[in-house]
């Protein structure tokens, strides 16, 4: 099954280390989802016009355990099956990691984490504007500093 990465796992160098047997399929979108931060990236159900760009990976069977460990599955993140619209127009089912319900919240990311995410967008030729929009949304809607 396709894995849809929306945060630091868009970063090719990081994924080469973490999932050395896996391959990029291409880019896609999660429609009806919103990218936010709770220190790390997360996706939440959004409005119908919300879109999250993703990098789609064919995760080798031997790499799933490593990826699960990195994502803190099932304590920090859980897996959800979603519909992905690939850039070639096809719709595919895939897996996305979403923060467990008891972890939900909004909190700006660490600078170094954000740099890794930003490089992932650039690695895959994805416009970085949605990443900045997620930062603004998180800043405007978080309880930080209040």
Q: Above 90 in pLDDT, residue 56?
A: yes
For the segment(s) 2-132, the CATH number from 3.30.300.30, 3.10.490.10, 3.40.1160.10, 3.40.50.720 is 3.10.490.10
Q: Above 90 in pLDDT, residue 31?
A: yes
Give this prediction's pTM: 0.94
Contact 43, 33 (CB under 8 A): yes
Q: Where are the domains of the chain?
A: 2-132
Q: Above 70 in pLDDT, residue 100?
A: yes
The position carrying tokens 């650039």 is 122
Rounded Cα gap, residues 117 and 9, in angstroms: 8
Where residue 1 falls among pLDDT bands split at 50, 70, 90? confident
Cα distance between the two ends of the chain: 42
Q: Above 70 in pLDDT, residue 146?
A: no
Q: Above 70 in pLDDT, residue 121?
A: yes
Is residue 114 left, alpha or beta, with left meaning phi > 0 and alpha meaning psi from -120 to 50? alpha
Mean pLDDT computed over 7-20: 97
φ/ψ (deg, to 5) at 104: -60, 145
pLDDT at 144: 56
pLDDT at 145: 46
| Nearest Cα to Cα of residue 33 among 23, 45, 22 | 45
Q: Above 90 in pLDDT, residue 102?
A: no
Q: Above 80 in pLDDT, residue 142?
A: yes
Mean pLDDT computed over 74-92: 97
pLDDT at 43: 97
For 82, the token pair is 């979603």
Percentage of residues of the chain with pLDDT beyond 70:
97
Query: What burial class does residue 90 get, using C-beta atoms within 10 Å of its C-beta: 0-12 exposed, 13-18 middle, 19+ buried?
Result: exposed
């Amino acid at each position: 099954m396709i894995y849809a990465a929306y945060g630091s796992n868009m970063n090719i160098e990081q994924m080469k280390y973490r999932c050395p047997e896996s391959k990029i399929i291409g880019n896609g979108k999660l429609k009806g989802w919103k990218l936010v931060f709770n220190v790390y990236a997360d996706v939440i159900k959004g409005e119908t016009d919300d879109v999250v760009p993703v990098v789609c990976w064919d995760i080798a069977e031997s790499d799933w355990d490593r990826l699960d460990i990195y994502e803190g599955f099932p304590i920090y993140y859980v897996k959800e099956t979603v519909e992905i619209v690939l850039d070639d127009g096809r719709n595919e089912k895939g897996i996305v990691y979403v923060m467990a319900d008891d972890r939900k919240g909004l909190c700006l990311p660490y600078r170094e984490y954000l740099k890794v995410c930003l490089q992932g967008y650039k690695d895959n030729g994805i416009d970085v504007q949605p990443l900045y929009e997620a930062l603004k949304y998180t800043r405007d809607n978080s309880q930080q500093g209040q």
